[in-house]
Amino acid sequence: MKNQKVFVMGHKNPDTDSICSAIAYADIKNRTTQTKRYIPRRAGQINEETQYVLNRFGVQPPAYLGNIGTQVKDMDIRPKPDADRTMSLKNAWDMMQNKGIVTLPICNSDDELEGIVTIGDIADIYMDTKDSYLLANARTQYNKIKDTLDGEIVEGNGHGYFTKGKILIGTADPEMMKKYIEENDMVILGNREEDQLKAIEMNVSCIIVGMNIQVSEKVIQKAHERQIVIITSPYDTYTIARMINQSIPVNYVMKKDNLVTFSTEDFTDDIQDVMIKHRHRAFPVINKRGKCVGTISRRNFLDMHKKQVILVDHNEKDQAVDNIEKAEILEIIDHHKLGSLETMKPINFRNEPVGCTATILYRIYDEQRLEIPPKIAGLLCAAIISDTLMFRSPTCTQQDKIAASALALIADIKIEEFAREMFKAGSNLKDKAPEEIFYQDYKKFIAEGNVAFGVGQISSMDEEELQEIKARLKPFMVSECGRHGISRVYFMLTNIMDESSDVIYYGEGSEEMGKIAFQQEPEDECFHLKGVVSRKKQMIPAMMEAAQVMANDFN
């Protein structure tokens, strides 16, 4: 049975390869593994090109997962017992002892949290022996009193409630009892009939008789006439007096206000300080539907289950989903240079010098002897076309072309016609804000001297549209420089048909690094690069070398 989830994810600001490869690899794993369930996820917003591809082949986009850190739901949550506000303290105590818990969530019939009771709350009430009006103040049901004393109601309505009067033990003679018994009191008595009748005459609410003493018909009849409850118990007077406070409902002692609770969706990094501040033994946990599912304690941090993830189309920490260091990486499938991710143990890492991750997945389908569904074939073909700019990118290999051709046959598409439709959908940027365009396909890199720079890219078949976007992006880049520790920002505007890119830039040292990298002078704060369409293979290596040159000159 597939119980454990494994998320298959691409990088932030996902492109078509990142999304489609995650969907395809989840399909491969689910068809070859029986013990786990593989689920595609995305770490960012889907762009227009990818949305077009998903719509074209009728595939739902992966759900968003922006943070893969451990959450409360990844802990071993202790399930809550069925405890409601009407149960007696004795029942609550017995339940807590049997379950080995110190905090008991009290819920209504819809599993919504109403309060909590702790061992300490029950102990406090048990130790409070001076309050003779406790049962009345707590509105204690006679049936609860009977159950607590393991007794039997021989007269009266057990469903009624003791709401007035005090509790006392009748040990004096009947005449003396008159002086301290008041109407509506509850009296614990022995076997003397005259005492019992005197209590009835005083119009008490309830009479409790110990030692399983049989009450006479005369007493029962008199009690019946005055609607007085009679309870018999096997215990002696001392034991009855000691136990009777345990019959009050938990509603009377439970904490109802300012409860410290956690959601199943809370990240564990966020709740540790709260736990330390409040120092409770356990905390109720509420799920997304508002239902209480159980409790957690500080001890649960010792047995947390890290989320398991497979990364596709990247192996850089800065490009991965937030909190990737808190997850367990099982595999990486990629076609980029080796990055900065680290793992706690050896993993399956497949990295090949091809133009697209989807090309590697095409091979894996073949190696596993799996038939590729037409929809998946369409997604993978689209990914290869996108990443290789319809085979124009220098990153494109013969393997990419062979894979795309085979996938196109399965998906029943014509590559050139489909590519034009896809690129047209992806370059429809007129209604987008500069921020959306800038971060649509943006990656951060760390160069020599710990210099952080960011590079965004868009591709279009319309030169006029690219020039319009360039004018809109320049002022936006000024505000972005300095954010996220980045001192230099660049943006590639790639013309697919001309196989060229304009690169605009901003930040101290950004122009100098560009001059060294591209071996040319900029015009109007823009580098015009003929034959340059690949960020990964053409631009980034040159910029890394330029950063190293600048660092050496500085030293």
Cα separations in angstroms, 433 against 437, 469, 475: 7, 10, 12
125 or 149, greater pLDDT: 149
7-16, 31-40, 87-96, 419-428: the lowest-pLDDT one: 419-428
| 223-231 mean pLDDT | 96
Q: Residue 174: its pLDDT value, please? A: 67
Token reading at 90: 């004795």
pTM above 0.75, yes or no: no
CATH code linked to domain 139-236: 3.40.1390.20
To which residue do tokens 């591209």 refer? 518
Within this chain, domains 4-69+307-426 and 75-125+252-301 share the same CATH topology? no
| 283-305 mean pLDDT | 88
pLDDT digits (tens, 9 = 90+) for 356-383: 999 999 999 999 999 999 999 999 999 9
Percent of the chain beyond pLDDT 90?
A: 68
In 66-203, where does DSSP find H-type helix? 89-99, 119-127, 134-137, 142-148, 174-180, 193-201
Q: Is the domain defined by 434-554 classed in CATH 3.10.310.20?
A: yes
> pLDDT at residue 228 above 60?
yes
Average pLDDT of the chain to the nearest whole number? 91
In 445-538, where does DSSP find H-type helix? 463-480, 510-518
pLDDT digits (tens, 9 = 90+) for 182-221: 999 999 998 889 989 999 999 999 999 999 999 999 999 9
373 or 2, greater pLDDT: 373
| 405-426 mean pLDDT | 93
Class of CATH domain 4-69+307-426: alpha beta
Q: Where are the beta strands (DSSP E) in 18-149?
A: 36-42, 63-64, 78-79, 103-107, 113-118, 140-141
> pLDDT at residue 3 above 80?
no
Which band of pLDDT confidence, cut at 50, 70 and 90, is reported for residue 426? confident
Q: Closest Cα to residue 145, out of 192, 90, 184?
A: 90
Q: Closest Cα to residue 90, out of 129, 147, 142?
A: 147
| 31-39 mean pLDDT | 94
pLDDT digits (tens, 9 = 90+) for 85-111: 999 999 999 999 999 888 999 999 999
Q: Residue 2: its pLDDT value, please? A: 54
| 144-164 mean pLDDT | 95
Per DSSP, the three-state class of 305 is: coil
Q: Which residues pair with 495 in a beta bridge?
A: 460, 500
Q: Residue 364: its pLDDT value, please? A: 98
Q: Domain residues of the chain, as ranges?
A: 4-69+307-426, 75-125+252-301, 139-236, 434-554
Q: Residue 1: its pLDDT value, please? A: 42
Q: Residue 140: its pLDDT value, please? A: 96
Alpha-carbon span 437 to 424, nearest angstrom = 15
Superfamily of domain 75-125+252-301: CBS-domain (3.10.580.10)
Q: Residue 292: its pLDDT value, please? A: 96
pLDDT digits (tens, 9 = 90+) for 166-179: 999 887 666 777 77
Token reading at 190: 């022995």
| 131-139 mean pLDDT | 91
> pLDDT at residue 115 above 50?
yes
> pLDDT at residue 491 above 70?
yes
Alpha-carbon span 325 to 145, nearest angstrom = 56
Percent of the chain beyond pLDDT 70?
A: 98
Half-sphere exposure of residue 497: CA atoms within 13 angstroms, side-chain side: 10
Q: Residue 209: its pLDDT value, please? A: 96
| 292-308 mean pLDDT | 86
Q: Residue 116: its pLDDT value, please? A: 94
Measured in whole angstroms, how far is the alpha carbon of residue 107 from the centre of its chain? 23
52-66, 383-397, 479-493: the lowest-pLDDT one: 479-493
